[in-house]
Amino acid sequence: MNPAADDPAPHDQEQKRGVDILHNPRLNKGTAFTPEERDNLNLRGLLPPKYLPIEEQLDLVYENYSHKESDLEKYIYLIGLLDRNEILFYRLLEGHLEEMMPVVYTPTVGLACQRYSRIFRRPRGLCISLRDRGRVDTILANWPYRDIRIIVVTDGERILGLGDLGLNGMGIPVGKLSLYVAAAGIDPSKTLPVCLDVGTNNEELRHDPLYLGLDRSRERGEEYDELIDEFINAVRARWPRCIIQFEDFGNTNAFRLLEKYRDEAPVLNDDIQGTGAVTLAGLLGALRITKQPLSEQRIVFLGAGEAGIGIAEAIMTGMKEEGLSDEEAKQRFWHVDSKGLVTHQRAGELAPHKLLFARDEPPVNTLGRVVERVQPTVLLGVSGKPGLFNEMIVRAMARQIERPIIFALSNPTSKAECTARQAYTWTDGRAIYASGSPFDPLTINGRFFRPGQGNNAYVFPGVGLGAIVSGAKRIVNSMFHHAAMALANTVSDELLEEGSVYPRQSDIKEVSLEIAAAVAREAYRLGVNGEPEPDDLESYIRDWVWKPEYTPYG
């Protein structure tokens, strides 16, 4: 049985006629309705007389998109298209994914979130606030599609590197799920973006009369936990096969909620687990260039939040595969936060997730001094602070090793710890560089470089697809490890020669299918699957994938 067809979303074109069908973005084909369909569906006269097939529609909307002068205008145009014609939107996005991914997601989505209350046009997803405690299931019942397989939910506290945006963070689940569809072929009718509005500590938003969220400080106590618990339980009761992805929660809640629910529901946190997997994959690619084992790397992390700890845990799993113990692997990591090196001498002030990687050595209060002491082979930035990999630090690293690996992963581009040009210039082109948001290819001293982008979109769509098709009852860390290995194996020697440790984003759908198969196999191996294992997994996954194609109306 194809799980995509178990409980289909309502396709009510038989009941809808005329203007109603044109106002439904999942049924509307616009000028692509044939003359026969226009007669059958009472559309005659409601559309211009010329019939345009989808190929010509794509030319038209891409031309309109290209004429927009700013990325925010392009974002608003694409969301407007999604509101009018869902199939045309996804067909356009699939065909221009490398070009449009920075618009529908990072970095432009950050600006869109900052402006969310002002550019709001039409509801997308569900907004559930503290005022809705006790009736969350009723709100879920308002969503018109019955077979939800994946939810991305945020409470808006830590949106990219922008901080607390409250309800304005709704743009993140919307953008994330658009990539689940475009990059992994998950049927959009099976996706649901959710924002939990628990207030905001962003005073600028609270004093903005046009802000659409609750005008109150952020709830952190019992009411918060009750809302989260009610939400998880209501989702599990209504859609028992649904994956729940926590997105852009603050550090404390991100780790706490993942730990609380991971053994009782199929939940994941892309900021922790997805970031870890995509960084491990990039590091494995870099080591194909340096010809060194993972287990011998000395890795300095700038940042000890969700991303930093998630990456360390992912790399530690990889090192254990090469024979190190947990303790031996931990000795290869040095975490630096805003107060300096994370050590046991600071135990009284450290959050629980930092204690796991605290070191038994004298404190050091600056990144530069840590780099001098450790002589790292890998420098990873997840601080959310731009420019902290300065010329002195990068040049010091380049003096110590032949091919320094520098991953400046903070998003958006304006938050990167250093730019691609800086990394290549300060190391005389010897750096192996990746960033969190995209930098354009560049030529320095006659040599062409294609900076890699450690974008979680390489990982989370495939992980979600693999979990869905296998009916995973839990999502475990080993699934992300297998996802990282599958991603690393897709990078060609030609791309490595150009300095890129990730595949082209235009190939992301094939990458997602590879990752989905690896994740599903791990679910079957562990026995956490809820769907039977098919004889031909790859074919089964390809048959499951949704395609943005118009359906003929009989």
What domains are defined for the chain?
53-249 (3.40.50.10380), 273-457 (3.40.50.720)
The neighbour count for residue 352, using CB atoms within 10 Å, is: 10
The stretch 35-59 carries a mean pLDDT of 96
The stretch 118-127 carries a mean pLDDT of 90
Residue 214 to residue 131: CA distance in whole angstroms: 9
| Residue 9 pLDDT > 50 | no
Catalytic residue among 105, 116, 550, 553: 105
Residue 138 to residue 468: CA distance in whole angstroms: 25
**CA separation, residue 551 to residues 13, 33, 50, 440, 450 (Å):** 10, 10, 19, 38, 40
Residue type, 78: L
Q: Which two tokens stand for residue 388?
A: 């902290």
Nearest to 462 by CA among 521, 534, 377: 521
Q: Which two tokens stand for residue 384?
A: 């959310």
The residues, ordered by sequence, that sit 6+ positions from 336 with a Cβ below 8 Å of its Cβ are 300, 301, 302, 303, 304, 342, 364, 367, 370
Residue type, 48: P
- For the chain, the 3-state helix, strand and coil shares in percent, each to the nearest 5, are 50, 10, 40
| Residue 165 pLDDT > 70 | yes
Would you call 145 a catalytic residue per the annotation?
Answer: no
**Ordered alpha helix ranges (H), 2-158:** 19-22, 35-40, 54-66, 71-84, 86-95, 97-104, 108-114, 116-119, 136-141
| Residue 356 pLDDT > 90 | no
Nearest to 514 by CA among 183, 93, 179, 178: 183
- Quick one: CA dihedral 276, 277, 279, 285, positive or negative? positive
The neighbour count for residue 110, using CB atoms within 10 Å, is: 24
* Mean pLDDT, the chain, integer: 94
Residue 497 to residue 426: CA distance in whole angstroms: 19
Percent of the chain whose predicted confidence (pLDDT) is above 90:
88
The stretch 482-511 carries a mean pLDDT of 96
Residues 424-480: tens digit of each pLDDT: 999 999 999 999 988 999 999 999 999 999 999 999 999 999 999 999 999 999 999
Residue pointed to by tokens 């938003």: 205
Residue 527, classified by CB atoms within 10 Å of its CB into exposed (0-12), middle (13-18) or buried (19+), is: exposed
Residue scoring higher pLDDT (293 or 1): 293
Would you call 105 a catalytic residue per the annotation?
Answer: yes
Q: What is the pLDDT of residue 15?
A: 55
Residue 502 to residue 486: CA distance in whole angstroms: 11
**CA separation, residue 278 to residues 311, 483, 501 (Å):** 9, 8, 10
Q: What angle do CA 431, 435, 437 make, to 5 degrees?
A: 155
Please check whether residue 158 is in contact with residue 205, taking contact to mean a CB–CB distance below 8 angstroms: no
The stretch 186-207 carries a mean pLDDT of 97
**Ordered alpha helix ranges (H), 165-266:** 171-184, 203-206, 222-238, 251-261
- Quick one: CA dihedral 84, 89, 91, 92, positive or negative? positive
pTM over the 0.85 mark: yes
Residue 131 to residue 352: CA distance in whole angstroms: 31
Catalytic residue among 74, 176, 190, 415: 176
- Quick one: CA dihedral 181, 187, 189, 191, positive or negative? negative
